[in-house]
Amino acid sequence: MSGPKVTLENEAAQSTNALGPLVGLAREDFVGAVAVLLRETASDPKRLMKHAQTMGEDMVKIVTGKSDLAPNPKDKRFHDPAWQFNPFFRAGAQYYLAIQKGMNNWLEDLELDELERNRANFISNIIIDSLAPTNTLAGNPIAQKQLINSGGLSLIKGLQNAYNDIVHNRGMVSQVDKRPFKLGENIATSKGNVVHRTEMYELIHYAPTTDEVYEIPQLTIPPQINKMYINDLSPEKSIIKWQVDNGVQTFVISWRNPSKDQGHWDMSDYIASCEEALEVVSTISGSKKVNVSAGCSGGQTASVLASKLAATGNPILNTLTLMVCVLHPKPTDIEAGSLVSENGIQIAKKRAAKKGIIKADDLARGFAWLRPNDLIWNYVINNYLLGMDPPAFDVLYWNSDATNLSASLMGDFLTLYETLAFSTPGETEMADHKIDLTKVTADLFILGGVTDHITPWKATYRSTQLFGSKDVTYVLSQSGHMQAILNPPTNPKAKYFVQKKKGKLPATADEWLQGTEEVKGSWWPYWMEWIQKRSGKKVAAPQIVGNDEYPAQESAPGLYVIEEV
């Protein structure tokens, strides 16, 4: 059964939680999208009757065995031979496909603008996915074979899994088997220590593994919605290990998981923490300059930080690396984003403020229902119908170890989205200054992922046009959201795209793509060479982590990643 497990791992790893406009999605936005469909249904009864008649004709063909409807060969749900050769299952698949075809044809016929069409497609896909016959024991031939082959044990195990999810996972189907993982033992194992701790964060300094290091250190700012050890999952996939093995002095912020009492933490507080961390890194390393890297919402935070440093004349920022991060979003970037409305954002803000925080479980539940086929129904089939354990996969373990989000920070992220703060210089005030990326002149390295549906690569490319930097590099990695980042040299399928000719990047992603070349292998060595060229000369590696002022405390990954709220 390794095949289904691998599929589950790959699909779920593309769907990690991410901060963005979707945290402002209120249930009223879903209702509004459904209302659009109902409005269009009532507006032209003849159109509805036409499509109902066509669907009825498809049903007659199915009953009489004359239907030629067949699943898409790429649809993994219908790969079992029974869907082709067993009359019962073939008819079940065709009924489902007839509904899917009828819904799609009807939607195409509706008079909707682009935003409304995206909303309609998104809602209809959620509904259609839930109707798939594979989601039931009676309609799933693989589950029935498993039931017979196991002598009924698969059904018992499936019921046990369902019970455990109801009792221990707040009714959400589990995506990962957490039992094999233990932080600091077989996950997040790079050597280092906490060297500074505040109420909001820990700063971890990782031990050098080379005799010499580059004089300019690097600070990583992780997203606030997930824990920092995504940078150090396993030795094979550890960005931290890659950095220290290549002579980079490596520091990482570990954000504390906020409780209800800390729901007032806002972007200003997080930026102040970043500024403080930069000063600590500078003091420990003896370097007046620091390279900064960040991904996803951490990239948005780092961009506000870069703007603040430029506004206050602080020259500490040397280079900035932004990975799978959108700074200039558009409602049509992703279909789910089309659901977000100005009214919905205000409602979401008020609800969050009342609670103080948005709980990690609620965030995870919301994101799962935005991609139900990948993140819910796949696991219903695997865990409940087949009676199998979910995969023990490090990326999924990390993703399930999500954190709460303070209401104030959520409000600030939504303000960045609403006001297009990064692409409207000097108009939005946040973190005690007006955001203006045109004043940021540090060299930039920006990464996108080919199949990233959370931060689509063409949206990440827009960031190349926002800064005042003269030296901007854009790299397009294969795969989706987190897998685009975690694409180490050990991955035999790794590849990336870069601009053939050096120089100023084109204004649009499409123009850039025309002038690119495909490079086999991981983008990590390319990025490391870029970093090393901008990290000064080599000096003797420090014998200890921290210094007298900031001595080594608890071993990495620190206390905040294991603290329970």
Please write the tens of the pLDDT for every residue from 46-102. 777 887 888 888 899 999 989 999 999 989 899 999 999 999 999 999 999 998 888
CA-based torsion, 412, 282, 468, 240: positive or negative: negative
Query: What tens digit of pLDDT does each residue of 345-383 get?
Result: 677 677 777 778 888 777 777 677 767 777 788 889 999
Q: With contact defined as beta carbons under 8 Å apart, do 219 and 277 qualify? A: yes
Beta partners for residue 462, in sequence order: none
pLDDT at 423 over 90: yes
State the angle between helix axes of 45-63 and 87-109 in degrees (0 to 180), rounded to the nearest 10.
160
pLDDT given for residue 359 in this prediction:
80
Query: Which residue type does 158 have?
Result: G
Q: With contact defined as beta carbons under 8 Å apart, do 376 and 171 qualify? A: no
Structure tokens at 523: 């983008």
Summarize the confidence of residues 501-513 as an average pLDDT: 92
CA distance 138 to 155: 12
Beta strands in 44-86 (DSSP E): none
pLDDT given for residue 510 in this prediction:
94
Interacting residues of 6 by C-beta distance below 8 A, sequence separation 6+: none
Q: With contact defined as beta carbons under 8 Å apart, do 453 and 322 qualify? A: no
pLDDT at 464 over 90: yes
- Phi, psi torsion values for 293, nearest 5 degrees: -130, 150
Structure tokens at 41: 């249904």
Which range has the worst mean pLDDT, 38-52, 96-110, 199-213, 282-296?
Answer: 38-52
pLDDT given for residue 530 in this prediction:
97
pLDDT at 405 over 70: yes
pLDDT given for residue 26 in this prediction:
54
| Closest listed residue to residue 328, CA positions, set 465, 418, 423, 412 | 423
Structure tokens at 111: 């008079």
| Closest listed residue to residue 98, CA positions, set 134, 59, 64 | 59
Beta partners for residue 429, in sequence order: 434
Q: Across 1-10, 125-134, 528-537, which has the greatest mean pLDDT? A: 528-537
Structure tokens at 77: 């749900």
Interacting residues of 475 by C-beta distance below 8 A, sequence separation 6+: 445, 446, 447, 448, 496, 497, 498, 523, 526, 527
Average pLDDT along the chain = 88
pLDDT given for residue 335 in this prediction:
60
pLDDT given for residue 23 in this prediction:
52
SS3 331: coil
Interacting residues of 43 by C-beta distance below 8 A, sequence separation 6+: none
CA distance 498 to 494: 14
Q: How confident is the model at residue 122 (pLDDT cuts 50, 70, 90)?
A: confident
According to DSSP, residue 469 is labeled -
CA distance 154 to 314: 62
Q: How confident is the model at residue 314 (pLDDT cuts 50, 70, 90)?
A: very high
Q: How confident is the model at residue 482 (pLDDT cuts 50, 70, 90)?
A: confident
Structure tokens at 438: 């045109």
Structure tokens at 144: 């029935």
Q: How confident is the model at residue 238 (pLDDT cuts 50, 70, 90)?
A: very high
Q: How confident is the model at residue 319 (pLDDT cuts 50, 70, 90)?
A: very high
pLDDT at 17 over 60: no
All CATH 3.40.50.1820 domain ranges in the chain, comma separated? 192-329+420-540
Which range has the worst mean pLDDT, 218-232, 363-377, 433-447, 526-540?
Answer: 363-377
pLDDT at 487 over 70: yes
Query: What tens digit of pLDDT does each residue of 162-207 get?
Result: 989 888 887 888 888 988 999 999 999 999 999 999 999 999 999 9
The larger pLDDT score, comparing residue 281 to residue 43, is at: 281
**Is residue 325 among the annotated active site residues?**
no
Q: State in words which class domain 192-329+420-540 has.
A: alpha beta
CA distance 386 to 160: 12
Which range has the worst mean pLDDT, 101-115, 318-332, 345-359, 470-484?
Answer: 345-359
Q: How confident is the model at residue 31 (pLDDT cuts 50, 70, 90)?
A: low
Beta strands in 174-307 (DSSP E): 192-197, 201-206, 212-214, 218-221, 250-255, 290-295
Query: How big is the CA angle at 445 (ends 540 and 291), to the nearest 5 degrees?
Result: 35
> Of these residues, 62, 155, 296, 310, which one is catalytic?
296
Structure tokens at 526: 């390319």
